[in-house]
Amino acid sequence: MDVRIDNLTKSYGNQKAVDSISFDIKSGEIVGFLGPNGAGKTTTMKMLTQYMQPDSGTIWYDNSSSYDVDIRREIGYLPEHNPLYEDMPVMDYLAFAAALQSVPQSEVPSRVIEMVRICGLDVEKHKKIGELSKGYRQRVGLAQAIIHNPKVLILDEPTTGLDPNQIVEIRELIRKLGREKTVILSTHILPEVEATCDRILIINKGKIAADGTVQQLRKQSEGKSLLQVRIEGAPVEHIAEGLRLIEGLQKVLLVDTTNKRFEIESNAGDAVNRLVYRACVQNHWDLLEMIPFETKLEDIFRDLTIN
């Protein structure tokens, strides 16, 4: 199911939580909402799941934009903080969630069993939800979201409270589900979006600050590249001086005097490596190390959200 959002706006009092954002998500895409706290991620998700009504703007699911149960039936939602009925046993709760999402009565037991298997709830399935640890509660939340095999999956911070092994499992599960569904997840764990998402939407102050794949965002971030080199064969000052003479380099930093390591920032991409190599040959320096660094998602994120 394709999701299209058109000029969505929502204010709380005077504060604009979401400020006319628009985007398209195709079926089979996994999109990560990224943004600092209070950026409008959760509000956007609440509007996508019809829990909140936008002040203005439209949300299209395929060709329908109405507020009704037929759309909600196609959505699986894991809300922020993962609210659950504490005094219900896991199995009963999953059956309840399935029935509410109009899974036919005859299929409910088999769906519940499948969810218990997929989400690894087997050991805890007869306990009351209130007795579960946070990681297992999170799995129950995920299980109730996917039990009716929805076409759109909306997950607000799906991996909070999980241990590293569980995080890997859940990410794999999301990737698997994402092949045939539209998945929208929010997080502020950056490696998470890199690991699971096809596309990233960085939201800041209610607006979309960036939209694209991880690679595209890297390129967008002004094509900056960072190179660390270790050069010997002359006093450090000479080398630094010589490097600064090379055209196209923006910044040369001496980071380690004893080992003679330098950091070079430039706009030139791969060409820098060649320029630095030639300079070394000309000056008869020994080039001992040359390590290219990719701009990290953290840096892009910081660039876009702090100003």
Partner 1 sequence: MNNSVWIITKKELNSFFDSLTAYILLIAFLGFSGFFTWITGSDIFMRKEADLEVFFSVSKWTLFFFIPAITMKMIAEENKSGTIELLLTKAITARQIILGKFLACLLLIGIALLFTISYYITVSQIGNIDHGATLCGYLGLLLMSAAYIGIGLFASSITNNQIVAFLLALLIGVFFHFIFDMMSYNSGGFVGQLLSGLSVNRHFESLAQGVLDTKDILFFASLTIVGLLLSELFISKRIK
CB of 217 vs partner 1, minimal distance in Å: 30
In whole angstroms, give the CA distance from residue 165 to residue 172: 11
In whole angstroms, give the CA distance from residue 236 to residue 169: 49
CB of 78 vs partner 1, minimal distance in Å: 9
Burial 101-140 (b: 16+ CB within 10 A, else e): bebeeeebeebbebbbebbbbeebbeeebeebeebbbbbb
Taking the CA atoms of 293, 295, 298 and 303 in sequence, report the sign of the dihedral they define: positive
Cβ distance to partner 1 smaller for residue 49 or 204: 49
CB of 20 vs partner 1, minimal distance in Å: 19
CB of 45 vs partner 1, minimal distance in Å: 10
User: Which parts of this chain interact with partner 1 (CB under 8 A)?
Assistant: 46, 49-53, 69-70, 72-73, 75, 77, 79, 81, 83-88, 92, 96-97, 99-102, 144
Cβ distance to partner 1 smaller for residue 90 or 200: 90
CB of 126 vs partner 1, minimal distance in Å: 14
**Helix, strand, coil content of the chain in percent (nearest 5):** 40, 30, 30
CB of 71 vs partner 1, minimal distance in Å: 9
Partner residues linked to 124 by β-bridges? none
CB of 223 vs partner 1, minimal distance in Å: 42
What SS3 string covers 238-263? HHHHHHHHCCCEEEEEEEECCCCEEE
Q: What are phi and psi of 187, to 5 degrees?
A: -165, 160
Cβ distance to partner 1 smaller for residue 4 or 73: 73
Cβ distance to partner 1 smaller for residue 67 or 277: 67
Cβ distance to partner 1 smaller for residue 48 or 280: 48
CA dist 34 to 76, 99, 133, 155, 272, Å?
Answer: 20, 33, 27, 12, 32
Distance of CA 74 to the CA centre of its chain: 22
Cβ distance to partner 1 smaller for residue 53 or 110: 53
In whole angstroms, give the CA distance from residue 168 to residue 135: 13
Distance of CA 68 to the CA centre of its chain: 29
Question: What does the angle CA 296 – CA 299 – CA 305 come to, to the nearest 5 degrees?
Answer: 140
Cβ distance to partner 1 smaller for residue 87 or 286: 87
